Amino acid sequence: MGAPFGFIAFLGIISLIGVIVSHVIVLFDFIEEAHHAGEPLEQALLDAGIARLRPVLITVGATVLGLFPLASHGGPLWESMCYAQIGGLSIATVITLLMVPVLYAIFVLDLKLVSWDKTAPQESISTSIGDAVLEGTKA
């Protein structure tokens, strides 16, 4: 683990940013879909976290397990990058799955930067078009 933090390790950190942002965007998308379905905030946060838990853990686990052989036998060029990515992915996974829903709840409940209206579930466009077609055939 005594690898220096050089340019290759910096590239590993830069690549981590893309993975982390992708996980956060998908988590936010799940939360927003639950919001549009009319779920309460707490239920939407729990459902999004549970729905994203397995895909995130499988992705991160496969990446981390794949980086260990490269870190131990890949030579000094790749060693620092692998350790940077292994540590970064491990920490970022915990932050993504635990801290992001908490921060989202703070933005909604305390800071009121995100509005969470308790509205009725919205129908999808295809359902409303299908209903209109059915009503048109009855007339």
Domains of the chain: 7-138 (1.20.1640.10)
Contact by Cβ (8 Å): 50, 30: no
- pLDDT for position 67: 93
Contact by Cβ (8 Å): 84, 13: yes
- pLDDT for position 1: 59
- pLDDT for position 130: 47
- Which residue in this structure is represented by tokens 């390790």? 9
Low-confidence ranges of the chain (pLDDT < 70): 1-3, 118-139
